[in-house]
Amino acid sequence: MARPTVYDSSLRQRLLETTAELVAKEGPDRVALRDIAAAVGTSTTAVYSLFGGKPQLLTAILDDAFRSFGDSQRAAAPDGLRGLGLAYRRWALEHPAFYALMFSGPLGTRMPCEPTPEIAAASIVPLYEAVGAALAAAGSDDPVEPSVAAIWGQVHGLVSLELSGLGLPGIDWEAAYETALNRIERSYAV
């Protein structure tokens, strides 16, 4: 042993929080490691020592985001498919930068920061179970995956278009979302 360590879990936590804040404010590519380090009162070396580099730091942020998203989904699970859909949009609108980072895919961002697969997969388990329950209640023995994908794609697509600010200017996204949820309920519930 030589000198007392400063790169400990407390600093790691503060780095995560500050980075999440900055990323939420202006996106992952606009935040510089120097800014993060300065905001926390350390140097960029801390990021390399504690995480390995910027991609790994963003991966940690990404995993936290998926966990938060998964929590939100689990909390809404008792309210059925519609509850899951409403919670989905609410979470995405509250965390637009995270949502973009989570679902932009490898070509969307330059940083190779894919989430831990298990954490990402766990976040959609509630939807999986709700669709399975709905199919079972309807007496259908269709496979679950295509329906899960179709429903997930529906809500993800609408939220994604809303966040992208693209096309259909002046549209009432909430009304469009209601339309889509109604269509889903009509197709699957009962």
Interface contacts to DNA, rule CB under 7 A: 1-8, 31-35, 42-46, 48-49, 53-55
Stretch that binds a copy of itself, among 11-19, 53-61, 110-118, 132-140 (CB under 8 A): 110-118
Question: Residue 63 or residue 129: which is nearer to DNA going by CB?
Answer: 63
Question: Residue 43 or residue 182: which is nearer to a copy of itself going by CB?
Answer: 182
Question: Residue 87 or residue 97: which is nearer to DNA going by CB?
Answer: 97
Residue 146 contacts by C-beta under 8 Å, 6 or more apart in sequence? Answer: none
Residue of 74, 127, 65, 151 lying closest to 101 (CA atoms): 65
Q: Tell me if 77 sits within 8 A of 84, measured CB to CB.
A: yes
**DSSP state string for 107-121:** TT-SS--PPPHHHHH
Dihedral through CA 42, CA 119, CA 104, CA 90, nearest 10? Answer: -90
Is residue 183 involved in binding a copy of itself (CB under 8 A)?
yes
Is residue 175 involved in binding a copy of itself (CB under 8 A)?
yes
C-alpha span between 87 and 76 (Å, rounded): 6
Question: Residue 11 or residue 161: which is nearer to DNA going by CB?
Answer: 11
Cα–chain center distance at 56: 17
- Which residue among 124, 133, 135, 189 contacts a copy of itself (CB under 8 A)? 124
Is residue 96 involved in binding a copy of itself (CB under 8 A)?
yes
Q: Give the three-state DSSP class for 181.
A: helix
Is residue 44 involved in binding a copy of itself (CB under 8 A)?
no
Q: Which does 43 bind (CB under 5 to 8 A by kind): a copy of itself, DNA, none?
A: DNA
Question: Residue 49 or residue 63: which is nearer to a copy of itself going by CB?
Answer: 63
